[in-house]
Amino acid sequence: MFAQKKILLISLIVTTLLLFIIDSYGHGIGYEVFPPVKLGDKMVALEVTSSQYQNPDSPDREITFSLFDIETGITIKDVTYSVEAAKKDQLLFENTFVTSDGILVMDFLHSDSEKISIKQENKASFFDVLIGAKKDVIQVSGKPFNTGGLYKFRVLITTADSFSKTLDDPLEYNIGLSIPQRSFYDVNDPNFGSQQLSIVTYYDEIEEFHYEPATKSVTFSMPFEWSKENVNQT
């Protein structure tokens, strides 16, 4: 259930946290390593990162999923990811991606289209070309990606180490990854004149923004899922 929370601001300090979640559910600010699970004779863990989690002003919205051997740190090869992505309880897309190097990279791109578009692009750098490496990036575009907020992913890993054998028990992860967004608001104060306030949000967009000159305070609402479970995780 979504609840409207009124927040009185004297000062706003946003601290980026690195979260290590104790089970396979998480609502991370931008970086998560999930607990190890057994895969054949290995113990593996899934790492999920957002390129933007430390810089809300960056236009780059790249999400990376990587399954790795926790003993050696080496990425598992031949991984198949089935991904469902949602935002504000709206399903954005569901698709299956195969990765020979085990790393799934997704770019969320701005678009005016209500329709979600998915295509594969090679973004190899000059150094990658020299060493013969290949970097395939899944480009996902659509209007929902024009703003930040909390994106939820349900990820099923159905192959790992070999495309020829489907896992009897697929690895399943439910992931919450937040993309920060900076918003600007113009206020008029009788003592300080016209000013512009900057607020960085991580979980949802601000609504009903209001500045009260008499108390020099700001009120706003933010429709985030304020459940005890979510608050404890974040």
Residue 216 and residue 231 in contact, taking contact as beta carbons nearer than 8 Å:
no
Helix (H, G, I), strand (E, B) or coil at 39: strand
Six-digit token string for 172: 């399943």
Q: What is the pLDDT of residue 87?
A: 87
**Radius of gyration, alpha carbons of the chain:** 20
Domain made up of 25-181: CATH architecture: Sandwich (2.60)
Q: How many CB atoms lie within 10 A of CB 222?
A: 19
Distance CA 141, CA 113 (A): 8
Least confident window among 41-55, 123-137, 218-232: 123-137
Residue 78 and residue 102 in contact, taking contact as beta carbons nearer than 8 Å:
yes
pLDDT bracket for residue 24 (50, 70, 90):
very low
Q: What is the pLDDT of residue 183?
A: 83
Task: Please report, for the chain, the start and end positions of each structural domain, with discontinuous segments joined by +.
Answer: 25-181
Residue 230 and residue 2 in contact, taking contact as beta carbons nearer than 8 Å:
no
Q: What is the pLDDT of residue 123?
A: 65
Q: What is the pLDDT of residue 57?
A: 72
Nearest Cα residue to 144 out of 182, 208, 96, 90: 90
Distance CA 203, CA 201 (A): 6
Q: Can you give the pTM of this predicted structure?
A: 0.71
